[in-house]
Amino acid sequence: MLNYNSAVSLRAFLEQEGLGMQKKFGQNFLINPNVRQPLVDALGGAHGAQKGDEVWEIGPGLGAMTALLLEKGFTVKAFEIDNGFIRILKKLFSQDAGFELIEGDVLKTWQTCRSAFPGTDNSFLLGNLPYNIAAVLLADFIEKKHVFSRMVVTVQKEVALRMAASAGSKDYSSFSVLCASVYKVKPLMTIRPSSFYPQPNVDSMGVLLEKRDSRVYPDIFYPLVRTLFSSRRKTIKNNLLSFPGISRDICMSVLEENGLNENQRAENLEIEAFASLAKTIENMRLSK
């Protein structure tokens, strides 16, 4: 058994296996057991993952979190890109019936797995996410309407703050609106660099995302949100003008119908305002 709690042991193990750490894959092992356990625990609980439920794990690395997930009785579908780690993961976990490994870039592989879901009511994700793909991956799930019942992710603190930001705050962005459209975002804890090997330069955060009651958004909702935030310095009017099919006249009447002043900026709009704008534009297109 590997000692996941010690940087010295992990370094020795990697050396013995002829493996190196690859910066481009955002590899930082979570070596602090007092952080790993609460993250895994946050996935469970009364409305969370139960024994036998499937959990998608993004970036298992050498399996520090995987071991805890399997210990809880979850089945694990693990997505890993690093060939060296894949070899080790197979050695450590392939005899476990609850473990499945999906090799390759999760940004490409996850969609091939989604049909395996019975629905979205019982789907879980945990990941100490590689910093370079964290926001892209989470946004991709949301925009492709693949919503998990519950997710526990570790991301850079700055990304966590954007995820949890509300309208009017400096961290509020299109990503905040995306997350809030389907999840309740709950920061769990700040994780210091010393909890990782190798140590990152910045603080990280564990974040819990719980699915909100289903809401239906018009198809243009996400593209519209992105457009309205596309240039932060611009007003909603000027950003909206770059949305396909929006002429000056249409733009003014859409804003008026929604009671919005043309000089407002996206960073001050609540999610309901974006939803309402999307609905107006969609209705207008349908009635054409």
One character per residue 56-95, x = contact with ligand SAH (rule: CB under 6 A): ---xxx--xx-------------xxxx--x----------
Q: How many CB atoms are located within 10 Å of the residue 255 CB?
A: 20
Note whether 12 and 163 are within 8 A (CB): no
Q: What are phi and psi of 134, to 5 degrees?
A: -55, -55
Q: Hey, which residues between 157 and 176 contact ligand SAH (CB under 6 A)? A: none
Which of 126/180 has CB closer to ligand SAH?
126
54 vs 80, beta carbon nearer ligand SAH:
80
Task: Give residue number: closest CB to ligand SAH.
Answer: 59
Among positions 29, 141, 175, 274, the unique one binding ligand SAH when judged by CB under 6 A = 29
Residue 26 is a binding residue for ligand SAH (CB under 6 A): yes
**Nearest residue to 180 via CA among 210, 216, 224, 218:** 210
138 touches ligand SAH (CB under 6 A) = no
* Min CB(176)–ligand SAH separation in Å: 23
DSSP state of 25: G
Listed ranges 22-30, 144-152, 182-190, 215-223: which one lies at the site for ligand SAH (CB under 6 A): 22-30
Residues 266/239, Cβ–Cβ less than 8 Å: yes
Answer for which of 14, 43, 101, 106 binds ligand SAH (CB under 6 A) is 106
Neighbours of 119 (CB within 10 A): 7
Place of tokens 């703050």: 161
Q: Closest separation between CB of residue 74 and ligand SAH, Å?
A: 15
CB of residue 193 to ligand SAH, shortest distance in Å: 14
Compute CA distances 277 → 222, 230, 236, 282, whole Å: 11, 16, 11, 9
Residues 20, 12: Cα–Cα separation, whole Å: 11
Tokens found for residue 267:
């960073």
Cβ at position 177, least distance to ligand SAH in Å = 24
- Give the pairing of strands 99-103 and 29-30: unpaired
Q: Which residues of the chain form contacts with ligand SAH (CB under 6 A)?
A: 25-30, 59-61, 64-65, 79-82, 85, 105-107, 128, 130, 133
